[in-house]
Amino acid sequence: MASYDPRSTALVLIDLQQGIVAGDKGPHGADAVVAAGKTLAERFRAAGAPVVLVHVGFTPDTMPSQQVDRPSLPAGGTPPEFSVLVEGLRQDGDIVVLKHHWGAFTGTDLDLQLRRRGIETVVIAGIATNFGVESTARAAWELSYDVAIVEDACTSRSAELHDFAIRHILPQIARVVTVADVRLD
């Protein structure tokens, strides 16, 4: 069981939004990840700890370079409904961050928001494990935050992509825990 101090710990939920939860996911279904994210958010709010909801959207002016071997973003950007957080996730007092990259720190004020609140530990969950979650975890670790990844509150495009990040990358920069493990006191 992992115990966290609610005065210095924040929950960061990545891309639980309409345009990301759609489609096949693995190893956990999007509905299960959203439900797990809501459970964690309720637990953090009840303890008085910050909940950060991160969503992503792209316009032609905010899109990262697409001079890559496998471009994955639509040339004209994403439609407005793509970035809408899933229903019932956002509550009054939550911190909402709109990003334009995989990671939640690049080009946003997330680090400032966390440091002003005295946050030292971030508990991260969301979609996709090996894209937004991993990128956010890497940046958090590089910024000297303690990082925890909630495995059963994350998923990716396939079980293989999720498992590679969970088994080989994330344990080197974070603690990998489950929803049941996360306790605030």
Does residue 107 fall inside a structural domain? yes
pLDDT at 60: 86
* pLDDT tens for each residue of 18-46: 999 998 899 999 999 999 999 999 999 99
pLDDT for the residue numbered 146: 98
pLDDT tens digits, 77-87: 899 999 999 99
Range of the domain at 32: 2-63+74-184
Position 69 in a domain: no
The number of folded domains in the chain is 1
CA distance 84 to 104: 16
- Assigned domain for 168 exists: yes
CATH number at residue 167: 3.40.50.850
Tokens for 146, please give them: 């303690």
Task: Decide if pLDDT at 48 tops 80.
Answer: yes
Q: What is the 3-state secondary structure (H, E, C) of the chain?
A: CEEECCCCEEEEEECCEHHHHCCCCECCCHHHHHHHHHHHHHHHHHCCCCEEEEEECCCCCCCCCCCCCCCCCCCCCCCHHHHCECCCCCCCCCEEEEECCCCCCCCCCHHHHHHHCCCCEEEEEEECHHHHHHHHHHHHHHCCCEEEEEEEEEEECCHHHHHHHHHHHHHHCCEEECHHHEEEC
| Residues near 110 by beta carbon (within 8 Å), at least 6 away in sequence | 12, 52, 54, 97, 104
Q: Which of 56-60, 135-139, 175-179 has the lowest mean pLDDT?
A: 56-60
pTM of the model: 0.95
pLDDT for position 33 = 98
> Is 68 part of a structural domain of the chain?
no
pLDDT at 1 over 80: no
